[in-house]
Chains A and B, each alone.
Chain A
Amino acid sequence: MTSLAAGSRPTRTQPSELVGARLPRWAPVAAAVAGVVLALALKAVLGWTGWLTAFFSAALLFVVVLTGWSFRVEGRRRAKDRLASTLIYSSFVAALVPLVLILGYIVVKGLPAFNADFFTHSMNGVGSRAGGGLYAAFIGTLEQVAIAAIIALPIGLFTAIYLVEYGKGGFARAVTFFVDVMTGVPSIVAGLFVYTFLLLGTGLRPFGAAGSIALAILMLPVVVRSSEEMLKLVPRELRDASYALGVPKWRTIVKVVLPTALSGLITSALLAIARVAGETAPLILLVGYAAKINNNPFHGDQATLPMFVWDQLGKRTGNASDFGEARAWGAALTLVLLVLLLNVGARLLARLARPKTR
Chain B
Amino acid sequence: MPETWDRVAADDRAADPRTAEAELLAEAGEHGTAATEALTGRLAGTAGSGASGTVAAPTRRHGAAPAAAPHGVSITGRSTRVGDRVFKGLAAGSGGLLLVVMAAIAVFLIWKALPAFSGNSGNLITTQAWRPQSSPPFFGIAAILFGTVVSALIAMLVGVPVAIGIALFIAHYARRRMATVLGGIVDLLAAVPSLVFGMWGLYFLVPNTRGFQSWLSEYWGWLPFLKNTTATSTAQYGQSLLMAGIVLAIMIVPTVSAVTREVFLQVPGETMDAAWALGATKWEMVRTAVLPFGRAGMISAAMLGLGRALGETIAVALVLNSGFVINPHLTEPGGDTFASTIALKFGEASGSPKGIPALVFAGLCLFVITLLVNSAARMIIARRREFTA
Contacts and interface: CB of A to CB of B under 8 A. Distances in A.
A95 B31 CA distance: 47
Contacts of B73: 248
Given A85-B283, A155-B97, A340-B191, A184 B311 contact: yes
A249 B200 CA distance: 51
A193 interface: yes
Contacts of A85: 173, 282-283
Contacts of A52: 211-212
A299 interface: no
Given A192-B360, A246-B43, A91 B195 contact: no
B311 to A, nearest CB: 3
Interface stretch (A32-40, A111-119, A280-288): A280-288
B161 interface: yes
B250 interface: yes
Given A155-B97, A243-B36, A281-B343, A332 B196 contact: yes
A196 B108 contact: yes
B253 A192 contact: no
Contacts of B257: 95
B109 A162 contact: no
Classify the secondary structure of B's interface with A: helix
B169 to A, nearest CB: 5
Interface in B123-165: 161-165
Interface string B164-190: 111011100110000000101111110
Nearest to B184: A347
Interface in B1-58: 30-31, 33, 36-37, 39-41, 43-45, 47, 49-50
A88 B311 contact: no
Nearest to B90: A158
B213 interface: no
A106 B200 CA distance: 8
A5 interface: no
Contacts of B30: 168-169
A171 interface: yes
B104 A95 contact: no
A184 B366 contact: no
A88 B313 contact: no
A27 interface: no
A192 B199 contact: no
Classify the secondary structure of A's interface with B: helix
A178 B375 CA distance: 9
Interface in B325-342: 339, 342
Contact of B343 (A98, A159, A275, A284): A284
Count chain B CB atoms within 10 A of each CB in A158, A183, A220 and give the residue with the most.
A158
A314 to B, nearest CB: 11
B112 interface: yes
B169 A159 contact: no
Contacts of B163: 95
A182 B343 contact: no
Interface string B223-258: 000000000000000000000000000100100010
Nearest to A201: B112
A181 B378 contact: yes
B65 interface: no
Contact of B169 (A91, A101, A277): A91
B104 A193 contact: yes
B298 interface: no
Interface stretch (A7-15, A76-84, A126-134, A259-267): A76-84
B193 A339 contact: yes
Interface in A343-358: 343, 347
Contact of A188 (B47, B84, B200, B366): B366
A264 to B, nearest CB: 16
Interface in B74-132: 81, 83-84, 86-88, 90-99, 101-102, 104-105, 108-109, 111-112
Contacts of B88: 162, 166, 249-250
B374 interface: yes
Contacts of A26: none
Contacts of B347: 316
Contacts of B92: 162, 166, 171
Nearest to B340: A188
Contact of A192 (B36, B200, B363): B363
B94 A159 contact: yes
B193 A188 contact: no
Contacts of A59: none
Given A81-B283, A277-B193, A336-B193, 12 more contacts: A81-B281, A171-B92, A183-B374, A184-B374, A188-B311, A192-B109, A217-B105, A224-B98, A246-B45, A249-B37, A254-B87, A309-B199
12 contacts: A83-B283, A85-B282, A92-B174, A101-B204, A102-B192, A106-B196, A166-B92, A188-B313, A192-B359, A243-B40, A246-B43, A280-B193
Interface of A: 50, 52, 77-78, 80-81, 83-85, 87-92, 94-96, 98-99, 101-103, 105-106, 109, 154-159, 161-163, 165-169, 171-172, 174-175, 177-190, 192-193, 196-197, 200, 217, 220, 224, 243-251, 253-254, 274-275, 277-281, 284-285, 306, 309-310, 313, 315-316, 328-329, 332, 335-336, 339-340, 343, 347
Shortest 9 CB-CB distances between A and B: which pairs? A278-B193, A186-B311, A91-B165, A246-B44, A184-B374, A162-B91, A250-B87, A158-B94, A281-B313
